[in-house]
Amino acid sequence: MKEKIIFATGNEGKMREIRMILEDLGMEILSMKEVDIQADIEENGSTFEENAVIKAKAVMELTGTIVLADDSGLEIDYLNKEPGIYSARYMGEDTSYRIKNQNLIDRLDGVPEEKRTARFVCVIAAALPDGRVLVTRGAIEGIIGYEERGEGGFGYDPIFFLPEYGCSTAELSMEKKNELSHRGKALRAMKEELKKALGFKRGI
């Protein structure tokens, strides 16, 4: 029987991306839904790292298996790294991204391109049943655009521009976004950390 890893998310889009990247670990990657766990964990940390560790540890304690969790968000330099860890909650969880994105564009009104720098950040934490905690971080640098562009992706993607590609992350194919994205980078780094932490014992 394959060893199990639970990824503490209910987001199916993320699960697809995670499974694709972690496939060669040879472990079964399950979502919270698949193991039928509904944990309402309060993300009360003050950094991406703290929040990811809080989530991973809480679910590991409930299940006794290896648990991965992520925390991600958009940091806009001109706005003192807002919305940052509050990216999902910015202007309220139920506010549409059309409104959130327009609000951020408005807050940067008149700000020249060189000061519109921003990045998506993703931190992945792994909580192991023996108490070890592994943490990796990935980021992608870009600038905040002047209007929404593109239909792909989600969240803040339509206003996040990659000058070297001449498009927003909402205009990239899923494969390309996985290759470049903060989450892809953090996941690939976590895969290497897991191989180091578990590989010897399991011959991965």
Which of the residues are catalytic? Answer: 71
**Closest approach of Cβ 52 to ligand IMP, in Å?**
8
The residue whose Cβ lies closest to ligand IMP is 155
The angle subtended at Cα 116 by Cα 121 and Cα 177, nearest 5°, is: 40
Q: Single out the residue of 31, 63, 87, 178 in contact with ligand IMP (rule: CB under 6 A).
A: 87
CB of 200 to ligand IMP, least distance (A): 31
User: Judging by beta carbons within 10 Å of its beta carbon (0-12, 13-18, 19+), is residue 109 exposed, middle or buried?
Assistant: exposed
Q: Report how far residue 37's alpha carbon sits from residue 14's, in angstroms, rounded to the nearest whole number.
A: 17
Q: Is the sign of the CA dihedral 149, 152, 154, 157 positive or negative?
A: negative
Locate all alpha helices (DSSP H) within the chain, ordered by sequence.
Answer: 12-22, 48-63, 97-107, 174-180, 182-202
Query: Is residue 135 a contact residue for ligand IMP (CB under 6 A)?
Result: no
Check residue 75 for interaction with ligand IMP (CB under 6 A): no
**Cβ at position 43, least distance to ligand IMP in Å:** 7
Distance, in Å, from the CA atom of 49 to the CA atom of 115, rounded to the nearest integer, reads 26
The answer to whether residue 184 forms part of the interface with ligand IMP (CB under 6 A) is: no
Q: Can you tell me which of 120, 125, 126, 143 binds ligand IMP, judged by CB under 6 A?
A: 120
Under rule CB under 6 A, residue 49 binds ligand IMP = no
Compute the least distance from the CB of residue 86 to ligand IMP, in Å: 9
Which lies closer to ligand IMP via its Cβ, residue 106 or residue 130? 106
137 and 66 in contact (C-beta within 8 Å)?
no
154 binds ligand IMP (CB under 6 A): yes
**Of the candidates 10, 17, 15, the residue with the CA atom closest to the CA atom of residue 177:** 17
| Contact positions vs ligand IMP (CB under 6 A) | 70-74, 87-88, 120, 153-157, 181
